[in-house]
Amino acid sequence: MTKEKAGLKARPTTRKSSAEKAAVNELNNRHDLAHVPLEQRIGAVIKRRRLESNLTLSDLSTGAGLSSAMLSRIENGMATASLDALERLCAAVGIGLSDLFKETETKQGSAQLVKRTEQMEVVRVGTKFGHTYRLLSYDRGPRKLFEPFFIEMDKKSETYPRFAHPGTEFIYMLQGRMEYRFGEHTYLIEPGDAFTFSGEVVHGPEKLLDDRIKFLAIIFYGE
């Protein structure tokens, strides 16, 4: 995506101030990223991309629909941006979301640690029914191989959506009991139970048997 398509035009190239040069050099020359929190690595990439595009905080915040104060906090690793905000920031500087996460990877292998405070709450079909979805890992390349979620539900929601998607889904129940619909069948899932099924068959919670339930759901998309 070019900057013109994203709706932001880079300012005419001018000589960067010494402070801007120092900031770009500092961001380009970080080595020990394994111990740098994810939000700081994300903020560093956003800031570097903004400076390389000769955009001010005001330019980028306006283009991404954020306040300048919030953008400054994100760039300095003092705030965790939602996936929606990150997508808008990436579009404004002309990169894809997968490119952003690829640039935050460490050079020490393929491991990825996402601390509890770094896990992003994402919007899914069940969000409007009061269900909470927390994404436990982020895309590390152009192809999405899997998505792991921590999901919470309670009996306040009397409506449970149905899902159908490519790939295989795995559920591990952590707390509470629920009846889960898979096609024409219903399964009782209790704490410690594991349930694996084809995502292409219509599925979803049928009934909560306890006030609150928590479980892990991992969708594998394959190669």
Name the more confident of 218 and 15.
Answer: 218
Give me the CATH code for the 119-220 domain, please. 2.60.120.10
Query: Taking each helix axis from N to C terminus, what angle separates 38-52 and 18-28, rounded to the nearest 10 degrees?
Result: 130
Question: To the nearest whole percent, how much of the chain has pLDDT over 90?
Answer: 26
Task: Encode pLDDT of 121-133 as tens digits.
Answer: 766 656 666 678 8
Domain ranges of the chain: 3-103, 119-220
- Rounded to the nearest 5 percent, the helix, strand and coil shares of the chain are 35, 25, 40
Number of neighbouring beta carbons within 10 Å of residue 133: 19
Tokens 């020359």 correspond to 29
Domain 3-103, CATH 2.40.110.10 — does that match? no
Task: Encode pLDDT of 118-164 as tens digits.
Answer: 677 766 656 666 678 887 877 655 567 788 999 998 887 667 788 89
Judge whether 39 and 86 are in contact, CB under 8 Å. no
Mean pLDDT of the chain: 79
Q: Is the overall model pTM greater than 0.75, yes or no?
A: no
Which alpha helices (DSSP H) does the chain contain, by range? 3-6, 18-28, 38-52, 57-64, 68-75, 83-93, 97-103
Name the more confident of 197 and 97.
Answer: 197
